[in-house]
Structures are given as structure tokens and as C-alpha cells.
Amino acid sequence: QSVLTQPPSVSEAPGHGVTISCSGSGSNIGNHGVNWYQQLPGEAPKLLIYYDTLLPSGVSDRFSGSKSGTSASLAISGLQSEDEADYYCAAWDDGLNGYVFGTGTKVTV
Amino acid sequence: EVQLLESGGRLVQPGGSLRLSCAASGFIFSEYWMTWVRQAPGKGLEWVANIKEDGSVKFSVDSLKGRFIISRDNANSIVFLEMDRLTGEDTGMYYCARGSDPDHWGQGTLVTVSS
């Protein structure tokens, strides 16, 4: 059972935008940077956002991250069919002494 | 280019053991924490364990302690995951990744526990 809660699914038309929430606590999101991962069907996860808001080289600027208190969000603008994937937030958790992933959100375009 | 290549996954009987390997290249292996993450079929990602650059510190998920052990060989840029007393719940794809907050991931190796 994950300590980071995400909506199971979101759906939006091409060209529109979506926001995925990630709710945690003071021992994880509230005290550590949040990463976001994209997992395309049948593929390994890929880092999308690190340290709450930063984009790795090569990641489209249609993706953006934010954080407030013990919650984080991933926004995707100008949705494209290739954005259909599962998205996971993640952060270190001091109480568990481990890295925790969110429950995952399936994005349908 | 960072590359992580997992191997060792296969069909194993319940109660059996397995050792997974992850060969790293394209970066200075001894300067990074390394992590194992697994994913059961149709399920989400589950962090398994990580290990400090020099192997002196290891963390693992409580539910797997005593059965799964992470280790590394910096001379050959390999990280291992020893798995013991395997059950059907251990079936899934096992990924190795670079860093304690993983950035680069391998393609995974499939472990199937079944009789």
C-alpha cells in the first residue's frame, strides 16, 4: 500500500491539458524532492521531473511539476497521443527509510 | 550514454532463490547509489532496495528484509539483488536504476515464480 496517493486515471482530448496530483505527508513530500516518472506501455519508467520542478535534458517543456506542502502535481499541456502512459510520483520517506512511489495515474488522450 | 542491463530473471519454483545482476556503463559507477525497483504484472512500481556508492549503507523495504539482499561490485560496475524464499508475489519485472532518487533505468528482467 503506497503512502503517496494519485488519482487512478485522467482523460482529456488532444491539445488540452491535465494535472495529476500526488498527496503525501511530512515524512516524504513535505521533506524531500519529488520525482515524476512516465511509463509508456511495455517500457521501463523514464524520469520526467526531478526535485519537484526540474526537467531532465530531452524532456518536453509541455511537462511541468510543482509542489506545495505535502502535495505535488504534474501538469501536461497540449496533450498528444504519445503522452498516453502511466505516471508515478515518488519521494524518499524518512519514516519508512525508503523510496516510495505513488499509486500511479493512467493518462488517456 | 548511461546504460543499465539487467539479467538473471527466469522461471523459478516457489521457495527457490535467484540472483539478479545489473551491469552499468556510461558513467562512473562508484560515484552513484544504485536502486532496485520491481513491478508485478499490471501493478504499480515498488521500490525494493538501494545501496550507497561504496556499499557501506543499504536500505530495503521492510516487507522484504531478510529475503532480498542488495550488493555491488564497483570493480566491475555491477549491482546485484539476491532473492531467497521466493513466492508468487515476487513475480514481476525487476528494474535497476541509477541513484537514490533514480534517474536512469534499465529495461528490466522478468522473474516468474511458479510451479
Do the Cβ atoms of A92 and B101 come within 8 Å? yes
- Is the model's pLDDT at A20 over the cut of 80? yes
Do the Cβ atoms of A45 and B46 come within 8 Å? no
The proportion of chain B whose per-residue pLDDT surpasses 90, expressed as a percent, equals 96
DSSP character at residue A54: B
The 10 Å Cβ neighbour count of residue B72 is 23
Q: Which residues of A touch B60 (CB under 8 A)?
A: 98
Cβ-nearest to B44 among A33, A56, A88: A88
Task: For residue A66, list its beta bridge partners.
Answer: A73
Spatial CB neighbours of A67, under 8 Å, sequence gap ≥ 6: A29, A34, A52, A53, A73
Cβ-nearest to B101 among A2, A33, A102: A33
DSSP character at residue B17: -
- Is the model's pLDDT at A37 over the cut of 90? yes
pLDDT band of A1, cuts 50, 70, 90: low
The proportion of chain B whose per-residue pLDDT surpasses 70, expressed as a percent, equals 100
Do the Cβ atoms of B44 and A2 come within 8 Å? yes
Q: Which residues of B touch A97 (CB under 8 A)?
A: 59
Nearest to A80 by CA among A21, A18, A6: A18
B104 reaches A (C-beta below 8 A):
yes
Nearest to B23 by CA among B99, B90, B113, B96: B96
Inter-residue contact A103 to A6 (CB < 8 Å): yes
Tens digit of each residue's pLDDT (9 = 90 or more) over B23-73: 999 999 999 999 999 999 999 999 999 999 999 999 999 888 789 999 999
Inter-residue contact B94 to B12 (CB < 8 Å): no
Q: Output the nine-digit C-alpha cell for B40.
A: 508485478
